[in-house]
Amino acid sequence: MEIRPHRLIKRKVTKKIQVGKISVGGNSLISVQSMTNTLTTDIKKTINQIQSLEEAGADIVRVSCPDEDSTKALKKIVKEVSAPIVADIHFHYKRAIEAADMGASCLRINPGNIGTDQRILEVIKAAKNNNCSIRIGVNAGSLEKNLLEKYKEPCPDALVESAQQNIKLLEDNDFFNFKISVKSSDVFLTVKAYKKLSKICDYPLHLGVTEAGGLLTGSIKSSIGIGQLLMEGIGDTIRVSLSSDPVDEIKAGYEILKSLGIRSRGVKIISCPSCARQAFPVIETVKILEKKLAHIKKPISLSIIGCVVNGPGEAAQTDIGLTGGGQDSNLLYLSGIPHTKVPSSEIIDKVVKLVEEKTKD
């Protein structure tokens, strides 16, 4: 189930490409991606991690292919998972060819560091033969030497020029099934580069603030960068890069999309920070509910407010609402209408039961 984007968001319509069964660009849903951190040669662990990411809602999953054994492992991996697999390739053009032959749905490469024109042509041929798309992955940490010499340091113009050079390489070889990213660990640099690129090309853009940091820091930086671009209608697929469990990247990605009314998945909890007016322990209650409701996939909104100041108003806007009341008489709302009083000791069980009942297929 999807929700309509905020009325102020007017998304730029880009070219549509296919990453396996997932369409990217055009009027497609903005997809959420992550990347495995297992050794790709450990096939069982990699499959298990991809399946965990799928369960969390991953539309696309990227897998690193640093050597031939890793690309060979893709053949078994892709058969056991449903999400399209993007093979992450750096420098070794043969790895890209092998990955395409082994069933990867997309190749993440930087054509400029693949090597000679002949090698690039061989990679493009393999992509065409296997119906495989390409992501041009420009990164501030690995810009071409000539661009660093020209601009002295990574900057928006350098990232965009790198993207343009790589776009030309693919277009000159009659290949157009690709998307582009221009990432940096600097939020300002990232946002400016994407805005500049969006003005001059219509290929789908993969958004991300690269190497953003740990769970808290990285989520905040990514929310600022990715969120700002999405609000301006820029972006077709996203990855929140975190030094954390890859599943956290999917969760953070959906939270960004939910906050902007772009996509909705699972329980959206609206809760107060708590204060001396709270009639029950709000913070602990929300922590427990987040864990007990993590398995819910169908979109539903839930407000948990500790007192009557904002509780009734928030409950009027959510599917299920709970407002703290005096003398252990907290009030439960359904679709904004008062439903029943709930003692503090029964809040968790009552709310979980209602959410599960309302989201049952």
The verdict on 243 and 345 lying in the same domain is: no
Domain boundary among 259, 281, 301: 259
Q: Does the structure show a pLDDT above 80 at 326?
A: no
The verdict on 152 and 55 lying in the same domain is: yes
| Domain region containing 228 | 17-259
The verdict on 239 and 292 lying in the same domain is: no
Domain boundary among 239, 259, 279: 259
Asked if residue 4 belongs to a domain, the reply is no
Domain boundary among 209, 232, 259: 259
pLDDT at 117: 79
| CATH code for position 104 | 3.20.20.20
Question: Residue 302 and residue 289: Cα distance in Å, rounded?
Answer: 10
| CATH code for position 339 | 3.30.413.10
Pair 305, 324: CB distance under 8 Å: yes
Q: Does the structure show a pLDDT above 60 at 4?
A: no
Q: Does the structure show a pLDDT above 50 at 1?
A: no
The verdict on 294 and 232 lying in the same domain is: no
**Residues of the chain above pLDDT 90, percent:** 87
User: Which regions of the chain does DSSP assign to beta strands (E)?
Assistant: 17-19, 22-24, 31-35, 60-64, 85-88, 106-109, 133-139, 178-183, 206-207, 237-239, 267-271, 300-305, 320-323, 330-334, 337-342
Residue 111: pLDDT band with limits 50, 70, 90: low
pLDDT at 2: 41
- Which residues pair with residue 17 across a beta bridge? 24
Between residues 5 and 45, the one the model is more confident about:
45
Residue 331: pLDDT band with limits 50, 70, 90: very high
The verdict on 239 and 315 lying in the same domain is: no
Q: How many domains does the chain have?
A: 2
Which of 1-5, 171-175, 336-340 is the least confident region?
1-5
Extract the tokens encoding 149. Answer: 């010499």
Pair 65, 74: CB distance under 8 Å: yes
Extract the tokens encoding 199. Answer: 């003005």
3-state secondary structure of 233: coil
Pair 182, 194: CB distance under 8 Å: yes
Q: Tell me: the pLDDT tens digits for 78-87?
A: 999 999 999 9
The verdict on 317 and 236 lying in the same domain is: no
Question: Residue 73 and residue 263: Cα distance in Å, rounded?
Answer: 33
Asked if residue 154 belongs to a domain, the reply is yes
Residue 329: pLDDT band with limits 50, 70, 90: confident
Q: What DSSP assignment string belongs to 92-118?
A: -HHHHHHHHHHT-SEEEE-GGGT-SHH
Q: Does the structure show a pLDDT above 90 at 7?
A: no
Question: Residue 107 and residue 74: Cα distance in Å, rounded?
Answer: 12
Mean model confidence pLDDT for the chain:
93
Asked if residue 1 belongs to a domain, the reply is no
The verdict on 183 and 46 lying in the same domain is: yes
The verdict on 216 and 195 lying in the same domain is: yes
The verdict on 126 and 191 lying in the same domain is: yes
Q: Does the structure show a pLDDT above 90 at 145?
A: no
Length of the chain, in residues: 361
Q: Tell me: the pLDDT tens digits for 264-281?
A: 899 999 999 999 999 999
The verdict on 278 and 254 lying in the same domain is: no
The verdict on 245 and 319 lying in the same domain is: no
Terminal C-alpha separation, the chain: 12
Asked if residue 2 belongs to a domain, the reply is no
Q: Tell me: the pLDDT tens digits for 222-251?
A: 999 999 999 999 999 999 999 999 999 999
Type of residue numbered 96: A
pTM: 0.92
Asked if residue 8 belongs to a domain, the reply is no
The verdict on 207 and 62 lying in the same domain is: yes
Q: How large is the angle between the packed helices 93-102 and 68-80, nearest 10 degrees?
A: 20
Q: Does the structure show a pLDDT above 50 at 336?
A: yes
